[in-house]
Structure 1
Amino acid sequence: MMEDDLTGVLGGHVAPPIWDLVDFTYHPEYHDARLVILCKGQMFAIDMDPKYFSDCPEQKEKYLFWIQVVDEGEVDGFVEEDFWDWAVAPLMPILEALPPSPGLETIHDFLFAKCTQYKLCAGPSGPVATLDEQASSYSSSFRVSLSERECAPFNVFSPSALKIFKGDKPLSFPWGHPEMVLLPDGTIAHLRLVHRGHLTLRDQLEAFRKINESVGSDTLVQRMHGLLKSENGDVHGLLLSHIDCKYHGIHGAAHYEDASMRPKWAKQILQSVERLHAAGVIWGYADPGNVLVDRNNDAWIIGCGNGYTKGWTSKGLAGTKEGDWHAVEKILGFQYVDDREFYFERRSTTLDSLPGIFGQPSTKL
């Protein structure tokens, strides 16, 4: 059904995209969606809705197929990134015609970049991007409201004070989703943007407060430098300690490194989790992807905050020490799951622990 229509959009011969994903949201019940991209220093929002395809049942069916892909993670070999390519394709002539950009210098440039809004509608031979002249002014979804009390434990940095960073120097780049920034004192920090309705944010902030105050600096766990906050009071993101990763995810590291490294990583993870628990912090999002192995082959824990990852911690154990240890035992099994399945659903079969590596957690905790 889809193959002929997608030839040339998803095939390997297509040139790399000149745009970068900024944000994607959709409603699982009403099936409307919004894709926000950045290209040559400008934002473009693409709004999609089944009713926009009501004049063409065939195109509506294709759109609903993509929503199914998002719901299920993968359908017939298609994944969410393929949906984004399909949605952006009608806009490509406009993107390609944009003049060169001097690039983005600061996080303010990124958060408040000019945004043009389009609707993706049914066209004569396929979807077309129609300028939405009636749309209200675009407002980034990367903003939350926090009370002064919630912000008080942390340093606050304004978007204009943070330079975008990549590699070994500040970067002026024409497009991209910034992940690293330079703090005013020259420290490299990892930027984690936050969304409106981020229900676990307050739990994460409380976890970082306890880590900063009660967990020794020799513990291999990500910390928080402060909050990214505008003058209007909106909080846009968390500024976290930068970990110079060699591998993102311990199972990937285990695949490429000698097996003799595994006891070291296991010891480091066990020690970090024990110290977190002693400080009243639950790891929560305990899964292999939240263990980073740096260039010294040390294993760092990230993602603290009382949640849980499906397949690694059961929902009934979410936010508990027992749930953390249950996940750690699986992680230290060093068995593998299918990359796509893990990426979209974070599923895993029960993993056996490595003999002689995983011990029982201290009952004193």
Structure 2
Amino acid sequence: MSRKQPIYEIGPFISSADNTDTQLNVYACDKLFKIDLFTSSFESSPVLLAEYLRHVRRQEPEWIPDGSETWEFEDPLDEMHDWILQPFLPIFQELGSLDPNRKYTLEDCLFAEELHYTVQVVENKVVPIYLSNAKNMKHHVFGARLPSSVDYSMFPVYRPKEVQVPISADSAALPGVPRKVSIHGRPQPSFFKIVFGGGMHIAAREILTYSKIRMAKFDPPILASQLEGLVQDDNGYVMGLLLSYIDGGGTRLNCIDGRDPKYSELRHKWVDQVSHTLKQFHSQNIIWGDAKAENVLVDVNNDA
């Protein structure tokens, strides 16, 4: 059964190992709804509390469906949003649609007007509770200051307002996590990889690796994404990396059943390509660090 196009876009889901409180970040039109969900808010209704905890449990990386789960798979995060956001839909609908004539940028996505909500249970129903409004504030989820020792001078730096986010005609909201972006004057799109708050050391390590890749002389050229620039806000926070865009519909190697006979020849090709890339990296003392199937994209030419 096809899933109805929602009137919102899902952003980062925040949880903690210390408790079962969570936070949803949802875009409706050009607004960001930050929705804090506290376990204590559901305790007056045992049924709703059990349902909330079921959804939270399904977000855990080690969660495996048991025999009581239906055979038809639905993304657990989508399902949680479908459930908790039902009473928010009238609020979202009042916002209207995106302006089809406007060119939206990362500035609009990363610094959207933020509406802060929580929920309460009233007569066994989940009710939205408005808390506050903030506009043009730095989103605490995105952006990190890099150590002063990190040299990224060989890469161009762009402000969020310089990076355009393509919006399709049927989009009801800004993307929760912008991916495909473009820069004025450049013919090819880029892939925007968000740097999350607290991701300073990960970003620094990636920039160092991409710096080595840019300076290396590979012959023949390798099949690997390149760092094309950084996105930095006015306060010096690096919001994300601009990587070369790989057109493949997001197909990752771990999502392809290599046992399927139709992939028998391609499987050998992909092994050779990935092995060649890693061999070339190692010849230049470049350690990728997380070479695994879920990090290998297959493009429209069936190259890995």
- Tell whether the structures are fold-level matches, with TM greater than 0.5: yes
- With over 3 angstroms needed to count, the CA separation of the structure-2 counterparts of 1:47 and 1:215, relative to structure 1, is farther
**1:242 equivalent in alignment to 2:245:** yes
Unaligned runs of 5+ in 2: none
- With over 3 angstroms needed to count, the CA separation of the structure-2 counterparts of 1:172 and 1:58, relative to structure 1, is closer
- With over 3 angstroms needed to count, the CA separation of the structure-2 counterparts of 1:223 and 1:172, relative to structure 1, is farther
**1:145 equivalent in alignment to 2:142:** no
| 1:190-214 Cα distance to aligned partner (Å, 9 max, x none) | 0011111125222222211111222
**Which residue pairs with 1:304 in the alignment?**
none
**Which residue pairs with 1:52 in the alignment?**
41
The one-letter code sitting in structure 1 at the alignment partner of 2:95 is L
Q: Are the counterparts in 2 of residues 210 and 281 from structure 1 also a CA contact under 8 Å?
A: yes
- With over 3 angstroms needed to count, the CA separation of the structure-2 counterparts of 1:23 and 1:55, relative to structure 1, is same
Shift of 1:181: 1.1
**1:282 equivalent in alignment to 2:287:** yes
Shift of 1:86: 1.7
C-alpha distance in 2 between matches for 1:137 and 1:218:
43
The one-letter code sitting in structure 2 at the alignment partner of 1:62 is E
Shift of 1:286: 2.4
C-alpha distance in 2 between matches for 1:261 and 1:13:
30
C-alpha distance in 2 between matches for 1:243 and 1:28:
34
Q: 1:93 aligns with which of 73, 90, 113?
A: 90
Shift of 1:126: 2.3
C-alpha distance in 2 between matches for 1:98 and 1:165:
20
Shift of 1:269: 1.0
- With over 3 angstroms needed to count, the CA separation of the structure-2 counterparts of 1:247 and 1:172, relative to structure 1, is closer
C-alpha distance in 2 between matches for 1:114 and 1:127:
24
**1:268 equivalent in alignment to 2:265:** no
**Which residue pairs with 1:110 in the alignment?**
109
Normalising to structure 1: TM-score of the pair? 0.70
The one-letter code sitting in structure 1 at the alignment partner of 2:91 is I
| 1:45-85 Cα distance to aligned partner (Å, 9 max, x none) | 11111122233344233322222112243444372321222
Shift of 1:246: 5.8
Identity among equivalent positions (%) equals 25
**Which residue pairs with 2:301 in the alignment?**
296
**Which residue pairs with 1:211 in the alignment?**
213
**1:73 equivalent in alignment to 2:63:** yes
| 1:251-304 Cα distance to aligned partner (Å, 9 max, x none) | 5275585422232222111110111122222232222222212222221xxxxx
C-alpha distance in 2 between matches for 1:136 and 1:115:
6
The one-letter code sitting in structure 1 at the alignment partner of 2:245 is H
Normalising to structure 2: TM-score of the pair? 0.83
Q: Are the counterparts in 2 of residues 158 and 229 from structure 1 also a CA contact under 8 Å?
A: yes
C-alpha distance in 1 between matches for 2:106 and 2:250:
26
Q: Are the counterparts in 1 of residues 104 and 167 from structure 2 also a CA contact under 8 Å?
A: no
**1:121 equivalent in alignment to 2:120:** yes
Q: Are the counterparts in 2 of residues 249 and 288 from structure 1 also a CA contact under 8 Å?
A: yes
**Which residue pairs with 1:225 in the alignment?**
228
**Which residue pairs with 1:317 in the alignment?**
none
Q: 2:132 aligns to what SS in structure 1?
A: coil
The one-letter code sitting in structure 2 at the alignment partner of 1:94 is I
| 1:68-112 Cα distance to aligned partner (Å, 9 max, x none) | 112243444372321222222221111122222216611111111
Shift of 1:218: 0.9
Shift of 1:134: 8.7
**Which residue pairs with 1:324 in the alignment?**
none
Q: Are the counterparts in 2 of residues 44 and 116 from structure 1 also a CA contact under 8 Å?
A: yes
Shift of 1:184: 3.1
* Larger displacement relative to structure 2 (226-235 or 55-64): 55-64
C-alpha distance in 2 between matches for 1:270 and 1:209:
21
- With over 3 angstroms needed to count, the CA separation of the structure-2 counterparts of 1:236 and 1:112, relative to structure 1, is same
Shift of 1:148: 4.6
C-alpha distance in 2 between matches for 1:25 and 1:80:
11
Q: 2:266 aligns to what SS in structure 1?
A: helix
The one-letter code sitting in structure 1 at the alignment partner of 2:96 is P
- With over 3 angstroms needed to count, the CA separation of the structure-2 counterparts of 1:109 and 1:276, relative to structure 1, is same
Q: Are the counterparts in 2 of residues 215 and 276 from structure 1 also a CA contact under 8 Å?
A: no
